[in-house]
Amino acid sequence: MTTRRILVVEDEAAIRQMITFNLSRAGFDVTEAEDSSSARNLIADQRPDLVLVDWMLPDSSGLELTRALRRDSVNKDLPIIMLTARADEQDKISGLDSGADDYITKPFSPRELLARISALLRRSVPVDDEPIVAGDLQLNPLSHRVTCQNNEIVLGPTEYRLLKFLMTNPERVYSRGQLLDFVWGQNVYVEERTVDVHVRRLRQALEPYGAETCVQTVRGAGYRFSVA
């Protein structure tokens, strides 16, 4: 099984370090953020498998961060556990209403935290492992194989990630800037023209199977994946 990545969003250094220490020891790959805005960047860049969000953060609250992630089509199913010092029932309800999957009240033991994380990872669908099928195209995230009518299509790593993103989010137009954020990562500085280069390469790879028509140019807007 691949190492699961967890993002810890907590501004209090002592708590953050305690969590990181325990999760790393349990075999997770842990990254840390001190506020909501750096959390958003890290989520876009690193695609964590689960996020621990503290309720009280210095910029916007953990509730607002959770709501914002849920509104985002890419992160709407991202497993989120909210951490809070507030034990009120009403707070718990607000936390879960914001879209958090679970809720832990401080102080908590490392064992309790690990148990909640394992439970959530088990019940969250491992979307990353399921083959994605669209028309004759099939993409297997475990083997990184792409096939069309059972013929294997060989793609470069960027074309693969681009196709995976598009197949995961069909029938939606993405601008070049959005594709750069989602496929290349928000902190990578490349020109928007780069997107066109990789779209062209992807279409060339799909063309022998007649599947290049799935990657559609939407004039003045960007690109869309569609088998229609």
In the complex, minimum distance from the CB of residue 72 to Ca ion, in angstroms, rounded to a whole number: 23
Cβ closest to Ca ion, residue 65 vs residue 69:
65
Cβ closest to Ca ion, residue 105 vs residue 158:
105
35 binds Ca ion (CB under 5 A): no
Residues 6+ apart with CB under 8 A from 119: 102
Which residue number places its CB atom closest to Ca ion? 56
114 binds Ca ion (CB under 5 A): no
181 binds Ca ion (CB under 5 A): no
In the complex, minimum distance from the CB of residue 16 to Ca ion, in angstroms, rounded to a whole number: 9
In the complex, minimum distance from the CB of residue 12 to Ca ion, in angstroms, rounded to a whole number: 5
18 binds Ca ion (CB under 5 A): no
Q: Of 47, 55, 105, give the one whose Cα is nearest residue 79.
A: 47
In the complex, minimum distance from the CB of residue 113 to Ca ion, in angstroms, rounded to a whole number: 16
11 binds Ca ion (CB under 5 A): yes
| Number of residues near Ca ion (by CB under 5 A) | 3
32 binds Ca ion (CB under 5 A): no
Q: Of these, 49, 54, 159, 181, which contacts Ca ion (CB under 5 A)?
A: 54
CB burial string 193-203: b at 16+ within 10 A, e below: eebeebbeebb
134 binds Ca ion (CB under 5 A): no
| Per-residue binding letters, 84-103, with Ca ion (x by CB under 5 A) | --------------------
Cβ closest to Ca ion, residue 82 vs residue 132:
82
Which among 10-18, 66-74, 100-108, 218-226 is the span making contact with Ca ion, rule CB under 5 A? Answer: 10-18
Residue 163 corresponds to which amino acid? L
Q: Note if the bond before 58 is cis, omega within 30 degrees.
A: no
Q: At what angle do helices 157-168 and 193-206 cross, to 10 degrees?
A: 90
159 binds Ca ion (CB under 5 A): no
Which residues bind to Ca ion, rule: CB under 5 A?
11, 54, 56
